[in-house]
Amino acid sequence: MISFKNVNKWFGDLHVLNNIDLEVEKGEVVVVCGPSGSGKSTLIRCINRLEPIQEGELIVDGMKVHDKKTNMTQIRAEIGFVFQSFNLYPHMTALDNITIAPIKVRNIKKAEAEKLGKQILARVGLGDKSKAYPTQLSGGQQQRVAIARGLCMRPKMMLFDEPTSALDPEMIGEVLDVMVDLAKEGMTMIVVTHEMGFAREVAKRVVFMDEGQIIEVAPPKEFFTNPKSERSKIFLNAIL
Amino acid sequence: MWGFYFNELIRSLPFFIKGLWMTVAVSGLSLIMGTIIGFIWGILRASRNKILRSLIGAWVDLIRGTPFLVQVFIVFFILPGIGIELEAFPAAVIALTNLAACFICEIVAGGILAVSSGQREAATASGLSAYQQLRHIILPQAMRTILPPLVGQYVLLVKDSSVVSAIGVVDVTRVGWLTVQRIPEGIMVFGLVGILYFIVCYPLINLSNILERRMTVGATRL
């Protein structure tokens, strides 16, 4: 469903993605980890072309994301994206936040979108918060609204860019619970995170990155108990 | 003497009201058109198009860096030299509209750029087009930053409109000049001129203050 072939990207002189090869199947949950500055956020931001790549092939759901002529609107509609800093629209209620894209991009009728939106808010445990503004919600609640915003587009895959890194420790659980449920329902997910408990529970593979390269790809059990590379060992020692 | 001139001045009031009407017409028309043009320029100035951005930036700097009086003279006296003949009133409106657009352009661009980049990213990621992002996500948030200084700018522009009296537009300043030749009491005559400007500007100043307070206190909704 997502296929990187020899993908390279530079920020000026910095080689931020170095010969990336990665395939993600439909229904697969992949956790990407690595030290900060290793290119893991850039990797998933390329998938919906929040960042363009400079070399190589990147095919998402059969569409050529590397090709500048490709119209991204259609692809982006199929990809839910959750940011570290939530990025909810502060001038809209929770319900408006999650229904604006279905209404404007998918051309769903407002009443229908709101019905769907309320169902999805209930699913992330915020059925009573549809009229709340983002500033009236806690960090964990805001991030769950952000996940609901992605889900409301009925996407084929969800990308998470360090979704719990900006949260107070006591709120991390409520967000991870929602993500675990999603994973178990068969959503295709790529999650950049250091939450190794989450990786153990639902990830099919863990991708370890350092300095723009994919160093190791392995099932979580193997990665945690028997990391192959020296750098993975150092990283795991530091975070576990 | 004061009493005599005062009665004269009272008798000239209709003339002043006519002048005030002209001031309101020139500045009102210019503010409306200047706001529309200023928003368009401001949106382009905050866009990714480098050529448009620097063209508009250069024009705004040029206008902000030259006296408005000189700009009015150029429109009224120099444009006819290249075949654009204008009456005083349209010349005044064109010059003031341009001035308003330039100042408003900077306010609008500043407001748009103050919206955090994460907002644009989130909207992009959900598939909204550039226009939809601007209309539904960026501008509603930018208006918070834009509105108070925008209304403040209106006050400045109403006062700047007095400059157009120099090319013979009979606005309230020009009425002052004409009247003071008959009634040689400068303080009294221009005191009245000042009061008339204040009557127009004071509600705007109040509105600006109210907006300022509303935008900073109520962070949840407009």
DSSP chain A: -EEEEEEEEEETTEEEEEEEEEEE-TT-EEEEE-STTSSHHHHHHHHTTSS--SEEEEEETTEETTSTTS-HHHHHHTEEEE-TT----TTS-HHHHHHHHHHHTS---HHHHHHHHHHHHHHTT-GGGTT--GGGS-HHHHHHHHHHHHHTT--SEEEEESTTTTS-HHHHHHHHHHHHHHHHTT-EEEEE---HHHHHHH-SEEEEEETTEEEEEE-HHHHHHS--SHHHHHHHHHH-
Residue of chain B with shortest Cα separation from A91? B221
Per CB-CB distance under 8 Å, the chain B contacts of A79 are: 125
Angstroms from A219 CA to nearest CA on chain B: 29
**Chain B residues with beta carbon closer than 8 angstroms to that of A91:** 140-141, 221-222
Instruction: Measure in Å the smallest separation between the Cα of A197 and chain B Cα atoms.
Output: 27
Confirm if B189 and B176 have CB atoms less than 8 A apart: yes
Residue B221, chain A, CB below 8 Å: the answer is yes
A104 contacts B121? CB cut-off 8 A:
no
Q: Which residues 118-137 in chain B show a CB within 8 A of chain A?
A: 118-119, 121-129, 132, 136-137
Q: How far is CA A65 from its chain centroid?
A: 17
pLDDT of residue B2: 66
Minimum Cα–Cα distance from A45: chain B residue:
B125
How many domains, in total, are found in chain B? 1
Please indicate whether, in this complex, the C-beta atoms of A100 and B136 are within 8 angstroms of each other: yes
Helix (H, G, I), strand (E, B) or coil at B103: helix
A87 touches chain B (CB under 8 A): yes
Alpha-carbon span A49 to B124, nearest angstrom? 9
Query: A102 with A116: CB under 8 angstroms?
Result: yes
Residues of A in contact with B221 (CB under 8 A): 91, 133
Q: What does the pLDDT read at residue B217?
A: 57
For residue B119, give the nearest of A73, A87, A133 by CB distance: A87
Predicted pLDDT of residue B222:
42
Q: Which of A66-80, A224-238, B101-115 has the highest average model confidence (pLDDT)?
A: B101-115
> Interior CA angle at B44 toward B43 and B48, to 5°?
110
Supply the mean pLDDT for chain A.
94
Q: What is the pLDDT of residue B1?
A: 59
For chains A and B, what is the number of CB pairs under 8 angstroms? 65
Residue range A85-92: average pLDDT?
95
Residues of chain A in contact with residue B133, where contact means CB-CB under 8 angstroms, are none
- Residue contact A104–B222, C-beta within 8 A: no
Q: Which of residues 143-172 of A touch B (CB under 8 A)?
A: 146, 149-150, 153
State pLDDT tens for residues A179-210.
999 999 999 999 999 999 999 999 999 999 99
pLDDT on residue B221: 46
Q: What is the nearest CA distance from A224 to chain B, expressed in angstroms?
A: 32
In this complex, the residue of B125, B140, B220 whose CB is nearest that of residue A81 is: B125
- For Cα atoms A185, A186, A192, give the angle at the middle one, nearest 5 degrees: 105
- Is any Cβ of chain A less than 8 angstroms from the Cβ of B47? no
Complex ipTM = 0.91
- Tell me which chain B residue has its CA closest to the CA of residue A90: B220
Query: Which residue in B125, B128, B221 is closest to A91 by CB distance?
Result: B221
Picking from A85, A90, A101, the nearest residue to B126 by CB comes out as: A101
Q: Which range marks the domain in which residue B53 is found?
A: 2-221
Q: Is A103 on the interface with B (CB under 8 A)?
A: no
Question: What CATH number corresponds to the domain at position B23?
Answer: 1.10.3720.10
DSSP β-bridge partners for residue B211: none
Å from A84 to nearest chain B CA? 10
How high is the pLDDT of residue B220?
A: 46
Q: Does residue B140 contact residue B222 with C-beta atoms inside 8 Å?
A: yes
pLDDT, tens digit only, all 222 positions of chain B: 567 888 888 888 999 999 999 999 999 999 999 999 999 999 999 998 999 999 999 999 999 999 999 999 999 988 888 878 888 999 999 999 999 999 999 999 999 999 999 999 999 999 999 999 999 999 999 999 999 999 999 999 999 999 999 998 999 999 999 999 988 888 999 999 999 999 999 999 999 888 888 876 545 444
Q: Give yes or no for a contact between B146 and B214, defined as CB atoms under 8 angstroms apart.
A: no
Contact (Cβ atoms closer than 8 angstroms) between residue A214 and residue A20: yes
The answer to whether residue A16 neighbours chain B at the CB level (below 8 Å) is no
Task: Kindly identify which residue of chain B lies nearest to residue A44, measuring between CA atoms.
Answer: B125
Q: Of chain A residues 39-78, which have a CB less than 8 A from chain B?
A: 48, 50, 72-74, 76-77
CA distance A73 to A101: 11
